[in-house]
Chain A
Amino acid sequence: MSAQDRSVVGSSVVNRTPAETRKIVEAGLRKRNNAERRFHSYGMLGVIVGIAFLFYFFATIINDGTSAFVQTHVKLPVSFDADVIDPKGTNDPQVWAKANYAKLIKNSLSELFPDVKKRKEKKTLRQMVSAGAPFALADMVAADPSLIGETVEIWLPTDDEVDMFNKGKIDRSVPEKRRRVKDNQIVWIDQLNEQGRLQKQFNTTFFTAGDSRDPEMAGILGAMKGSFFMLLVTIVIAFPLGVAAAIYLEEFAPRNRWIDLLEVNINNLAAVPSIIYGLLGLSVFINFMNLPRSAPLVGGLVLALMTLPIIIIAGRSAIRAVPPSIREAALGLGASDVQTVFHHVLPLAMPGLMTGAIIGMARALGETAPLLMIGMVAFIVEIPGTPFDPATALPVQIYLWADSPERAFVERTAAAIIVLLFFLLVMNGLAVWLRQRYERRW
C-alpha cells in the first residue's frame, strides 16, 4: 500500500509543512520543559537529602567527640620525698619503679586541702586524681632521677568523672545520689579552678596509650597499630595475588567453561557477607593452622581474602581498558607475552589497579564482623610490636568503648570514630587523586 492509497483529508501526518510541524512541537514544549524541571528537582532533592544526612552524622560525631581531644589536668605540688621513693638509699632504678607514688599524691593533696581530715573525705579527695597518676610520676623519676628530693608543680590527669564535670557534661542540679561527682568534690573542684590549678590540656594520652579500664588513661594507639599491621598484612598478600590473578584471567587464561565458572565465583565472593570470612578465618587459620589468636596476622589474612575479589575485578577492567594497539606494537617488535604484559600493559593498568586496591583497603579498614570471629575483640592493653602480638583494631575498639558504662567513654568513642573516618577519607581521597592524575596519560 503506497502513500497515495491512503485517504488524504487536509494535511496528513506525512504531508505536513514545516510550519505546521513547528506549531505542534512548540505546543508540546511546555510540558517537556516542566518534566525536565521536575526531573532536575528530584535529582537535587536526592542529593540534598543525602548531604543532609551526612551533615547530621558528621555534626553529631564531631559534637560528641571533639571534647575527648582535651583532658582536664590538675596542677599538684609534688615533693619527690627520698624517704618514700628510696628509703634505703639504694639508688636502684628498680626500687624507684616500685615505690609508693600514690603516697606522694596523697601528701600533695593534703597540702592543698589542709582542712580535709576524715578518712572517708580524704579518700574522696584522692579519687579526684586519676588512678594512673602514680605511674606517671614513676615514669618521670625513671627519666630524670634528679627529681628525687625536689618539689615540683606537676600537671596530672584528673579522674574521668572530674573531667566530665569540668567539661560541663555532668549536671550540677541533679541530686547527689544520682551524680557520680559528690558535693564536696564539686566544692574542691571550684576551689582548684579559682586557684588556677585545673586546666584542660591536649589529650596526648589518647594517641599514645593502649586501651584501659580508666577512660582518662585509655588511648587508641594500640588499636591504630593493630589496624596498621592488619592492613599491612592485607596489602602484602592481597595486592600481588590479586594483580597476578587479574593478569592471568585477562591475558593468559583460555576461554572455556571452567574459566567462566571461576569468573562467576570471583564476582560472587565480592558480595559474600564479611562475617563468613571471619568464620573461615577461625576454622582455617586459627584452628587448622594454629596461628596466634587475636593477632593482626590472622586479621590481615582474613581481610586479604575479603579484598582479593575486589582487586581482581578492578584489575581486570583496568587491564581490559589498555588499548590493543599497544599490545600489538609490543608483540610486533618481538616482545613475548609476558614481556608485553609487564612492560606495557601493567604500567598502563596500574592506576586502575591501585584505585581498586585502595578502595578495597578502605573497606577492610572498617570491617568489624570478621575480626570478632577471630578474637580481635578482646581487651588488650599492650600496644602490639609485631603482627604476631595480640591486638585490636580501630572499629573493634569503637565497639568495645561503645559498650563501656563510663560517661567519658562516650566522647572517646566519638573521637575514635573521628579518627577512623579521617583515615577513610584520606584513603579514598588518595584513590580519587590517583585516578584523576593517571587517567588518559596516553
Chain B
Amino acid sequence: MKDSLDSKISEQAAEVAADELANMQTKQKTMDENEKVQNQETGKQGGKQAAAVNARSEQRADTVGSPVVDGDIAVSVNDCNVHYGDNHALRHITMNFRRNEIVALIGPSGCGKSTFLRCMNRMNDTIEAARVTGEILLEGQDIHSKEMDPVLLRARVGMVFQKPNPFPKSIYENVAYGPRIHGLARNKGELDDIVYSSLERAGLINEVKDRMDDPGTSLSGGQQQRLCIARTIAVNPEVILMDEPCSALDPIATAKIEDLMYQLQENFTIAIVTHSMQQAARVSQRTAYFHLGDLIEVDDTDKIFTNPGHRLTEDYVTGRFG
C-alpha cells in the first residue's frame, strides 16, 4: 500500500515536469489579465511561487474535494478564522473529522496547520494576541460556549507536541498526573491499572516497567514521545491532536509511533500535522492541504497523492515547493 503510493507520487512528478511548459504559458495569460488588480511587489518577484500566490488570492476560499463528510462525526469545524493581532492567520476553515479516523494536515511552513490544530482544544486561548472566531463542535457541542469548560475540553481532546515534553517527574507520575487531577482513579490500585495499561497501549511498558521511578527526562527521544502519548491516552480522550510528533525523532522511533497510531485509531480520532508527505500517506485516511491560512483541499489520502484536485495541492505533493 505504502510502496504503491510512493511510486505513484514519483510517477506523477515525472508527468508534471513534462507538462510544465504548456501549463506555464496558460498561467502567464491569466496572470497578465489579473495584473492590474494584483500587488505590484508580488508581480515583480515572478516565478512559480508568486504565480501560485496571486492565483490563490484571487479565488474565493472554496475548498476542493470533500472537507465535510457524512458518517459518525467526532469534530466539526465551521468557518473558523484565527487572527494574531492584525494578521489573519487562518481563513474560513470548514471541515469535519469522522470518528476513529486519522486525518493528516499537510502544507508548507507557516500555513496555519498547527494553529488549526490548537484551535480544536482551545490552546490558542493561552496566546494573548490570538482571536478565534467560528464554530467548532465536539460531539455536537460548541467548544467556545460558556457551558464548555476548557479544562474539560482538554481532557476530552488530548495533544501531543512536536518536541517531547515529559514533566520533570518520575515516569509513573508523568502518566498518573492526568488521571489524578481529573479524579479518574479512586485508589492507588486503580491508578496503577490506568498507568500500566496506558504505558502498554503506548508500547512503552516493556522498556520502563523496571524503572517507573526514574525521571521522565532520562528516556531517549522516542521513548519520551511515547511517554507523552501514554500520558495523553491515560486521560481517555475522544480526540488526539498530534503536532508533528515525529519531527524530532529518528526513523526507527518514527516507525514505532506510526505503528502505535494504527492501534490507537481503534479507540480515538486522530488529527496529525506532519511535514512528511510519506508519513501522511502511510498513516492517514483523509488528508487536508493548507496553504497560507486557507484550506485548499480535503480528500481521501489516496486521491490527494495520486490525483489532487487543486493546482496548489498538486504543486505541493509533487515537490514543486514545500
Contact = CB atoms under 8 A, between A and B. Distances in A.
Interface string B137-174: 00000000000000111110011010101111000000
A425 interface: no
A335 B235 CA distance: 11
Interface stretch (B17-25, B38-46, B88-96, B175-183): B175-183
A330 interface: yes
A328 B165 contact: yes
Interface in A294-342: 323, 325-336, 339
A333 B165 contact: no
B165 A334 contact: no
A328, A329, A332, A336, most chain B CB atoms within 10 A = A332
Contacts of B167: 326, 329-330, 344
B123 interface: yes
A348 interface: yes
B128 interface: yes
Contacts of A333: 154-155, 158, 177-178, 181, 231-232, 235
Contacts of A334: 151-155, 178, 181-182, 235
A326, A336, A344, A442, most chain B CB atoms within 10 A = A442
A441 interface: yes
A440 to B, nearest CB: 10
Contact of A325 (B126, B154, B161, B235): B161
A25 B153 CA distance: 65
Interface in B283-309: none
A255 B128 contact: yes
B158 A441 contact: no
Given A333-B154, A333-B158, A442 B217 contact: yes
Contacts of A327: 126
Contacts of B165: 323, 325-326, 328-329
Contact of A332 (B123, B163, B182): B123
A441 to B, nearest CB: 6
A251 to B, nearest CB: 11
B198 interface: no
A348 B181 contact: no
Nearest to A334: B155
Interface string B73-88: 0000000000000000
9 contacts: A325-B165, A328-B161, A328-B165, A330-B177, A332-B121, A332-B154, A333-B232, A334-B151, A334-B182
Instruction: Identify the 5 closest CB pairs spanning chains A and B, nearest first.
Output: A334-B155, A442-B168, A332-B159, A325-B165, A334-B154
Given A332-B154, A333-B232, 17 more contacts: A326-B165, A326-B168, A329-B165, A329-B166, A329-B228, A330-B177, A332-B123, A332-B159, A332-B161, A333-B154, A333-B155, A333-B158, A333-B178, A334-B154, A334-B182, A335-B151, A344-B167
